[in-house]
Structure 1
């Protein structure tokens, strides 16, 4: 019974049950109706026979011979008003007569071991009684009723076959979608056909196609990311090999120390690039997002403390404005890394002062802001700086080009948005802003 596990089989089974119940109900109603009509017809025949005999002055010989036929189911008796039997015709084997005392009209009586249906009519001179066994009437009525039900019984399997075929035709588009899904390989992300799909199934297939489209975009972005990462890693690894060769060939002393310093710097850059790649991978869409209670003000203090040594070395004045605690839920590591990247970029790209603020926005939502007085980013380049490995116009500055990409990915993962603007100090302003409902969820009670 594997076919019952299919949609076609289940629909057919339900429709077959419904059709069978309906057919039985129709057949039952037809049977009862035909039997009732047959009874009325037999009663009419009894009445007409009795009335025709009542109105005759005498019974002709041919008619008497017909009534005396032993195969005739009718019992006919005629009495005088004095109770004398004038005429009697009995079926074969019938010895008892109808009672002389008749009930005019229709009546039922038990005679000779069986039930009879009787119609009696009277004139001033005679009483006519015509009777028929109820068993004969019921048998004939049942035969007539069953004959009326036969078409329903014959049509039922034909209707079932038609339903099975129609279900197959109706579900053919769904079967076509199934074949298309099965025909694709592991990397096949082409949309499934939606032509001719029922209205109940089309939204599901369209939603699945949207999912395939998002997966295709994600895979394409992943392939691009891997290709870019491989390209970016090739240069520092090649440089490390060259530096290792120089160290091997360097004479002991000052030349060797310089080679070791260059090798150490190359390793530090490679490690930083790998850390940036890992941070970006953790913040990518689809990565498991950590949701922990945190204080945005404390997180800003920690990020500023992380970058403070670099700022001091570069002679950059780094300050923090965070007047009040800002509780919310998110990934502390991702947000701390994003803010650290923003401050690190401001320090590296020539800012002399960097102002970090953790505050509430105009509508009370949490807001992280980094202002600097550096060269900033031109308006036409602000959209591109969020792309991976995009270093902007300051190519002389060492870096992986992943800082702002990490910031944007981390912010989106936490439900926040990143905007770039011009700082009042003349440089760049970067804001990470949360929606208003975050402020409402973490409003002190």
Structure 2
């Protein structure tokens, strides 16, 4: 299917518009010229009547020079109503007593007649309307001649002006086409038409976001390759130890250690993939009822909490709380928070999960009685692969980084604080007013 061209659309539209305007203007000029020509012919009829000598003698003879043209017919009657002069020997028109101009029909044709009275004499001047119309049309067409010649020039100028004014768009296209895939520098909007500035700004915004995404990917690849090197090296060493085992118990112990390291590597890869998936902008959003989602996930973690000798408590309000978010992202967010809480809370401790609301926010919080995070290190725990100095349990340092990325993508905010008891950690995610259903 052939693509539409703005260039040709403008030329065709403007040409049609100009042609239509030219046609209407020509039609108006033609009619005005005809009207003016008829007025001029009426004036000639009046002058023909005045051309008759002041004193008319019934016995006077008039030569052909007295006639004002072969298309003008003159007749004169004396006060007694006798015809004393006729410019034609072929026929005689009837006398029309109405003074002034009138249109009449005689001798199978239409005439324009002017009648006047001078010293009792009646003077009647007539002209065939067919000849008047022919002359009027010729004069009108002559007046349109320059106008008709001007139309092609206007069409040519239209095409030239459209091409000239679309040149900056073509220049922008060439500038973008000639760039390589690594050149994400912003386009210059200097000396650009006002209409192209918003497009340039939008492209620059897209280039900036693309550059940010590419930098994040490069950083992620560098970090992932660095973090995977250690567990893969450990796996290789563990395999070598298993191969060197001389006794069955040593071999079984080495295989057990190998399985543990494989589990850690799998968990690290899963976390890396999760981080990569939620490091991209523009998550698809839908209306999610938090009460149901939090209740379902918390129930799934009851078994894990009991296996670690922890009490997992759920505190939900009576009214359903609904926000505009990505359900999959919310699930990963809460699971990472619960994983961390279970991992860093000693046996016999307690974990609380709850929802709360105020006129401005909906809050999702997870509180534990674990070892917490030192206050000075809290600003850094959202960075990739950062682990707090007091965390001895095995981990990847990606859990809170994933949570932070999801929070940013959802337009929410996250806060870390210490419970009233002074022991443990509270992670609180606040969803703003714009995500509430009544803002839909």
Where does 1:305-344 land on structure 2 (aligned, <5 Å)? Answer: 305-309=303-307, 311-312=308-309, 317-322=310-315, 324=317, 328=322, 334-344=329-339
2:235 to 232, 236, 240: 240
Give the aligned partner of residue 54 of structure 2: 55
Give the aligned partner of residue 421 of structure 1: 417
Where does 1:202-351 land on structure 2 (aligned, <5 Å)? Answer: 202-284=197-279, 285-286=281-282, 293=289, 294-309=292-307, 311-312=308-309, 317-322=310-315, 324=317, 328=322, 334-346=329-341, 348-349=343-344
Give the aligned partner of residue 362 of structure 2: 365
> How far apart in 1 are the matches of 2:382 and 2:332?
16
Cα distance, 1:269–1:68 mapped onto 2, change above 3 Å: closer
CA-to-aligned-CA distance 1:292-333 (integer Å, 9 cap, x gap): 652423423433533443x34xxxx54425255666466666
- Aligned pair count reads 428
Give the aligned partner of residue 408 of structure 1: 404
The answer to whether the Cα contact below 8 Å between 2:345 and 2:369 also exists between their aligned partners in 1 is no
> How far apart in 1 are the matches of 2:327 and 2:71?
102
> How far apart in 2 are the matches of 1:126 and 1:298?
118
The answer to whether the Cα contact below 8 Å between 1:416 and 1:433 also exists between their aligned partners in 2 is yes
> How far apart in 2 are the matches of 1:193 and 1:327?
47
1:188 deviates by 5.2
Q: Secondary structure at the match of 2:113?
A: strand
> How far apart in 1 are the matches of 2:433 and 2:303?
29
Cα RMSD, aligned residues only: 3.4
> How far apart in 1 are the matches of 2:255 and 2:368?
37
> How far apart in 2 are the matches of 1:348 and 1:110?
115
1:274 deviates by 1.3
Q: Secondary structure at the match of 2:276?
A: helix
The answer to whether the Cα contact below 8 Å between 2:7 and 2:162 also exists between their aligned partners in 1 is yes
Give the aligned partner of residue 134 of structure 2: 139
1:182 deviates by 3.3
Matched, 1:432 2:429: yes
TM-score by length of 2: 0.83
Matched, 1:356 2:356: no
> How far apart in 1 are the matches of 2:373 and 2:285?
31
**Any stretches of 5+ residues in structure 2 without a counterpart?**
none
> How far apart in 2 are the matches of 1:63 and 1:197?
80
**Any stretches of 5+ residues in structure 1 without a counterpart?**
none
> How far apart in 2 are the matches of 1:160 and 1:417?
60
The answer to whether the Cα contact below 8 Å between 1:51 and 1:121 also exists between their aligned partners in 2 is no
1:105 to 80, 100, 108: 100
Give the aligned partner of residue 147 of structure 2: 152
Matched, 1:164 2:159: yes
> How far apart in 2 are the matches of 1:166 and 1:375?
71
Give the aligned partner of residue 34 of structure 1: 33
